[in-house]
Amino acid sequence: MSLLKNIFLLSLILSLLIPSIINAQELATFKVAIKPSEPWVMYNDKLPPEQREPVGFSIELWQGIANKLGLKTEWIYTNNVAELLKNVQTNKADVGISAVTIRSDREEIINFSTSMYELGLQIMIRADIGISTPFKILKEEVGKFITVPNFIIFILALFLAINVRWWADTKDKGAKLFPQTYWLGVNSAFWWSITMLITWDAPRNRGGLARLIDLCWHFTGLVAMSVLTGIIAAALTIQAVGGTIKNEKNLPGKRVAAVATDAPKDYLKSIGAIVIPVDTLNQGIEMLIAGKVEALVHDGPRLLYLAEKANQIEKQVLVLPAVFNYQNYGIVLPNNSEYLEPINLALLKLRESAGLNDSFHARLKKKWIPEFE
């Protein structure tokens, strides 16, 4: 009886202690290094770390993994990939996640999970250079030239020219060019004015004031046509120079912006592009819009996200559909980390679809990664 009582008491004690042990394990704090990279990791860096609330694709993906592994997260904020890797390598962080490309040289000093996202580099160019055909350029430039104020000025000038030319014709003692009654004469003078804008079609026996009016009106047409032709020619020249960038094969010899601390810079140098290092992608976009560089190259999803933001008011940039230098993003862990396999397993589960429903990973992609238009 005493033995049964002891067994009962031992069972009761274990039943009370085991949940506490499990809960303590589930609440184990994991230090996760992150760096800002839209739309993967975003937060207000003006706030103190304890008040920041990071959001983004990588943040939600890690939260999904942490839920499966029963981990509590403490964010470790870093400024760039090199700093993130250093924190993981020196065990200041248990893992690192953001937009970190899996590369062989990095694998020598740290471990990577299986791929958390597959992508490639893409090219951002100015939207006005991205116009694809001369007809689109013609439509756009003529639209800029024929504005409401310009149209009103033209109508007033046309009305004045018609009436002055008809009046001069009535005073001509020689052969009359127009009918002498006002409405018939002005109607004929209207067609004269349209013809004279484009070509010289005045009778040879005209002289004096009528001849001077013919000459001035024809000269006005020549100036207007020359200005319009110059505008269209300039736009076509810009298209011919800048529009030659269609894919990565057109980048050698071009001035291309790339973030100084990120992997695309090395690839661009290897293919012969003139790399202009920038501190941030936003700085690169500003240089692109200002015409200081011909293109900006970075990971496709991030360029699409930033292009969507830059074009909210006016379309200033576009991302070309060509994708190249394919790569994978991964979660960073220290060498020989015991959590590598559990994280890989959790990541695989989050990428598996649940029947007809999208996977957790697919839902995050739809939420955070803009699709190419």
Domain boundary among 242, 265, 299: 242
Q: What is the model's pLDDT at position 230?
A: 74
51 secondary structure, DSSP code: G
Which pLDDT value is given to residue 14? 47
The token pair at 329 is 């993003």
295-339 pLDDT tens trace: 999 999 889 989 988 888 888 899 998 899 998 999 999 998 999
Tens of pLDDT along 65-121? 999 999 999 999 999 999 999 999 999 999 999 999 999 989 999 999 999 999 999
The pair phi, psi for residue 88, each rounded to 5°, is -70, -45
Q: Which residues contact 203 (CB under 8 A, 6 or more apart)?
A: 175, 177
What is the pLDDT averaged over residues 7-21? 48
Rounded mean pLDDT of 331-349? Answer: 94
Please indicate, yes or no, whether residues 222 and 307 belong to a single structural domain of this protein. no
208/264: higher pLDDT: 264
154 and 225 part of one domain: yes
Q: Is residue 18 part of a domain?
A: yes
The answer to whether residues 95 and 195 belong to one domain is no
Is the pLDDT at 341 greater than 80? The verdict is yes
Q: Provide the β-strand partners of residue 28.
A: 71
Strands 295-299 and 255-259: parallel
Residue 184 within a domain: yes
Task: Specify the number of domains making up the chain.
Answer: 3
**Which CATH number fits the domain that encloses residue 280?**
3.40.190.10
Which of 9-13, 229-233, 244-248, 254-258 is the most confident on average?
A: 254-258
**364 within some domain:** yes
Q: pLDDT band at residue 135, thresholds of 50, 70 and 90?
A: low
Q: For position 237, which CATH number holds?
A: 1.10.287
Give the residue numbers spanning the domain of 175: 135-242
pLDDT value for 203: 58
Contact call for residues 43 and 57 (beta carbons, < 8 A): no
The answer to whether residues 83 and 38 belong to one domain is yes
Same domain, 238 and 256: no
308, part of any domain = yes
Structure tokens at 178: 């127009």
Are 145 and 234 part of one and the same domain? Answer: yes
Element (H, E) at 157: helix 148-171
Does 14 lie in the same domain as 112? yes
Q: Are residues 238 and 248 in the same domain?
A: no
Maximum distance among all Cα pairs of the chain, rounded to whole angstroms: 144
User: pLDDT per residue over 270-303, tens digit each?
Assistant: 999 999 999 999 999 999 999 899 999 999 988 9
Whether 373 is in a domain gets the answer no
For residue 68, the model assigns a pLDDT of 93
* Mean confidence (pLDDT) of the chain: 82
Give every CB contact of residue 334 below 8 A, 6+ residues apart in sequence.
88, 89, 91, 94, 110, 111
189 within domain boundaries: yes
The residue among 138 and 6 whose pLDDT is bigger is: 138
Residues 105 and 208 occupy one common structural domain? no
Residues 8 and 112 in one domain: yes
Cβ contact 37:79 at 8 Å: no
Q: What is the pLDDT of residues 151-183, one digit of tens each?
A: 888 888 888 888 887 787 777 766 567 787 888
268 pLDDT above the threshold of 50:
yes
User: Same structural domain for residues 103 and 207?
Assistant: no
Same domain membership, residue 143 and residue 221: yes
Model confidence at 238, in pLDDT bands (50, 70, 90)?
low
- Using the 3D structure, point to which of 242, 261, 288 is the last residue of a domain: 242
> Model pTM?
0.60
